[in-house]
Amino acid sequence: MKKALLFIVLLPLFFGCSKDEVPANQITVVGRWHLAADTLTTYADGKPAAVQINAYTKQGDHDLQFFRNGEFYIYNSVPYTNALNWGLADKLTLNFPAYEQNGVTVPAVTQTATVKLLTTSRMLLFFDKTTVNGETSVQDFVRVN
């Protein structure tokens, strides 16, 4: 009986979490992420009409850097003069300030994505832009650092 009780007490030590696992509540988007692929679905009359899959192999293109102070940076993108900021609750909200491009002011915009997956090494974002005729985008990021 004592051996069985000892076995039951020691069993979790062998099958518990590994040292490499991070509890879900401690995973953060802070850091640099590379967009590895995105899937764009275009809709016509409320039904999927076309699907386009893009892969991005060159690190540095399509990278996002999230900072603890709530700002983020897009590598190889528009040179914003004001800070971009983000927030994460059930969804990831990205706020882009207005900027000048070829003498034209592009207005500020907010994009909201549903976080479908967030691990220490991977983030899957779903951008729903669907109207009757619209598109959705699923973006697959891998952590760079």
Residue 1 pLDDT > 60, yes or no?
A: no
The predicted-structure confidence for 49-104, as pLDDT tens digits, reads as follows 999 999 988 777 788 888 888 888 888 666 666 667 777 767 888 888 888 888 99
CB 16 within 8 A of CB 28: no
Asked whether residue 21 is domain-assigned, the answer is no
Residue 23 pLDDT > 50, yes or no?
A: yes
Asked whether residue 16 is domain-assigned, the answer is no
pTM above 0.75, yes or no: no
Asked whether residue 136 is domain-assigned, the answer is yes
Asked whether residue 85 is domain-assigned, the answer is yes
Q: What are phi and psi of 18, to 5 degrees?
A: -75, 165
Asked whether residue 90 is domain-assigned, the answer is yes
Residue 118 CA, chain-centre distance (Å), reads 7
What 8-state DSSP symbol labels residue 62?
A: T
CB 63 within 8 A of CB 79: no
Q: What range defines the domain where residue 114 resides?
A: 28-143
Residue 19 pLDDT > 70, yes or no?
A: no
Asked whether residue 89 is domain-assigned, the answer is yes
CB 60 within 8 A of CB 75: yes
Rg (CA), the chain: 21
Asked whether residue 4 is domain-assigned, the answer is no
- Token output for 123: 């983030």
Asked whether residue 10 is domain-assigned, the answer is no
* CATH code for position 80: 2.40.128
Overall domain count for the chain: 1
